[in-house]
Each structure stands twice: as structure tokens, then as C-alpha cells.
Structure 1
Amino acid sequence: MPALHVCPLSRLAETVAAVRPSHLLTVINAATPVPRPEGIGPENHLVIGVSDILEAMDGHILPGEEHARQIIGFVRRWNRERPMVVHCYAGISRSTAAAYIGLCALRPDLDEFLLAERLRRAAPSATPNARLVAAADRLLGRRGRMSEAIAAIGRGVDAFEGTPFALPLDS
């Protein structure tokens, strides 16, 4: 069953070993080095250097449309024969936004609120980056529904880092 697996950087190696993904999506600060795990080719590893912020700040990269476009393109090229792992530093904001964007891109037939609820059930600490979600919402033509759905699930429970979880594509 194809799924998006989400984890923090600290649990990347164990998550990759456990699920044996074909693709890896890294959404992390540009200056944070992330070695590509063994078994994932460079063509199957997308690194998006972006800060987890909602407004411009000196020295930081603000998430925007180009980042959302890269996420959408990458998940759409994934053949779904093996899982994809999505991670950021803490596994709470950028990676959960990217996973939600991926679900919405791959499952245009499903309601945004249903997908957001799936995210919340799988990850109580998920607090997807609203700016990244809003950019994808525009690109996918979801007319604000993705942003509304993420606002509806609210901020996740406080956590230093998220617990790894999976979002199946076909349920």
C-alpha cells in the first residue's frame, strides 16, 4: 500500500530502514546538512531549503509558491511502488505541510477536510506550515479549502518533535 511516511530528522535513518522508501523529500533550513540515505538515488531525493516561518525574516527563506510547486511536482513523479519519506527538522510543521500537500495533489478526488482530519488522527502534534499550504492551495486550485481545513484542525499538541507516522494514499 503506498504511503507517505513523515518523521523528524532525528528519526530519519530508522524510518528509512523500517519502510525502505524509494523517494525522500527533505524540507529543512537551507544550512542544515542532510546526507542522502543509502538506497535512495539522487534523482529520488528532493531537498527544499526553507525556514519554518510565516512572515519574512532576515537570514531566513520564506516558504512560497516555488517550494509548493517543487513538492507537488516531486510527489506526482513518484511511482508509488514503494513508500516516500517526508521529513523536516522536528517532523511537526514543514514535513506535515508537505505530506498534506502531497495527499491533496495525489488525491484530488478527496475532500481537503477529510485529508486534514486523517493528518490530525495520525499526528496529534502536526501543525502544518500555513504559508506552504496556502501556496499549494492556490497551485492546486483548491480555492482556499486546503487552508481552511488546516485551520479547522488547529495547532497540534505541544511537542519538541513529532513521532513518525504514515499517511496511506488509498484509504
Structure 2
Amino acid sequence: MSRTIIVAPLARAGEMAARYHCRHMLSLMANGHDFAKPGIVESHHTLRMNDIAFAGTGKLVGPGAQHVSELMEFARRWAFDGPLLVHCWLGVSRSPAAALLVALALLPGLSDAALAGRLRSAAPFATPNRRLIALGDEALGREGRLIEAVAEIGRGAECATGLPFVLDLS
């Protein structure tokens, strides 16, 4: 049983899937941002949303409760069956937020602060999407603990794109 979540920008998703033998992949991409699923991936789910911190307007789709619900369902189907690859366009905001939510959905006893600290150590550039974190906090009954933990680690370092990183939940 692997308790490993690999987070990557889209440009490195195929490489990370191959390197870590990821058969499961969660994609958080805006409408119209199409991509090829790596051949090794057997179980894949795409959540279509923009990286914004509000509900959205016009063509912009903000993270919503339905996205969080689908994310939780995918997490339960994965349930640590090999490494999970989570990616978004840059690997900085949506995918780090999703990785935290997947971890807490499957391991509800984890400390929000300790998990956010692990994220910051693994990815100094990560700035988890605030709306996705807030919706996940509510859906998981964290009572504000996840929101507070992510606020505590603060905004990540400036970067043009994120680098792949491993969130080890062992």
C-alpha cells in the first residue's frame, strides 16, 4: 500500500507517472486545456476549473462543492492503491490543494498543521488554492483547521512554474 501523492505541473505529468509508476491520476484543468493521459495511468479523473479564488463568472469556472465531492469520491476509489499523481497546469495552486484534500479524506486523523507543514517542506513554492481549501475544509468537517493551517504556511515562493514533489503520507 503506497501512501504517496506525486504533485506535478502538466508539463511533467507524464514523466512523473512513468518515474513513480502511477496508475492513478487526478487532473485539475481549465476548460479547453486538453492533454494526453500517460499510457501507464489506468484510473483517471479530470476536474474542470480555473485557478481562481471565487465562484467564477462567464467562462471562468471557480472551484465548487461538486468539484470537491468528485475529488473525495476519486480519493476513496484510489484508497492508496499505488502512488497517486495529481497535476494542474503549473503544479502550484490547484494540485497542492487537491493533494491536501485527498490526504485528509483518507486519513482524517492527520493534523492539518502537520500536513500543511509537510507540503511547505516538500514544495516551498506551493500556494494552495484558497477556495478549494475552504470548500474542502467544510466538506471534510475540519471546522476551519485546514484553512488556518494553510494560512499559517503562507504564500509560497514566487515561481514561473512548480516543480514535481512527493507528499509522503506514511
With the length of structure 2 as denominator, give the TM-score of the two structures: 0.95
- Gaps of at least 5 residues in structure 2 are none
1:14 aligns with 15
- The alpha carbon displacement at 1:46 in A equals 0.4
1:61 aligns with 61
1:149 aligns with 149
- Gaps of at least 5 residues in structure 1 are none
Aligned partner letter, 1:11: R
1:2 aligns with 3
1:34 aligns with 35
> CA separation in 1, counterparts of 2:81 and 2:62?
33
2:91 aligns with 91
- The reply on whether 1:48 has 2:47 as its aligned counterpart is yes
* Residues 48-89 of structure 1, C-alpha deviations (whole Å, 9 max, x = no match): 010000122331101111111111111111142310100000
- The reply on whether 1:111 has 2:111 as its aligned counterpart is yes
Change (3 A) 1:79 1:144: closer
Q: Is the CA contact (8 Å cut-off) linking 2:17 and 2:41 kept in structure 1?
A: no
Q: Is the CA contact (8 Å cut-off) linking 1:90 and 1:161 kept in structure 2?
A: yes
Aligned residues with identical type, % of pairs: 40
Q: What's the secondary structure of 1:4's corresponding residue?
A: strand
- The alpha carbon displacement at 1:2 in A equals 2.5
* Residues 68-123 of structure 1, C-alpha deviations (whole Å, 9 max, x = no match): 11111111111423101000000000000000111111111111011000000000
> CA separation in 1, counterparts of 2:81 and 2:64?
29
Q: Is the CA contact (8 Å cut-off) linking 1:30 and 1:48 kept in structure 2?
A: no
Runs (4 or more) in structure 1 with deviation over 3 Å come to none
Q: Is the CA contact (8 Å cut-off) linking 1:100 and 1:115 kept in structure 2?
A: yes
With the length of structure 1 as denominator, give the TM-score of the two structures: 0.95
Change (3 A) 1:104 1:79: closer
Q: What's the secondary structure of 1:155's corresponding residue?
A: coil
Aligned partner letter, 1:29: A
> CA separation in 2, counterparts of 1:61 and 1:3?
29
Aligned residues: 168
Aligned partner letter, 1:169: L
* Residues 21-55 of structure 1, C-alpha deviations (whole Å, 9 max, x = no match): 120000011110021110222xx100001000012
- The reply on whether 1:127 has 2:127 as its aligned counterpart is yes
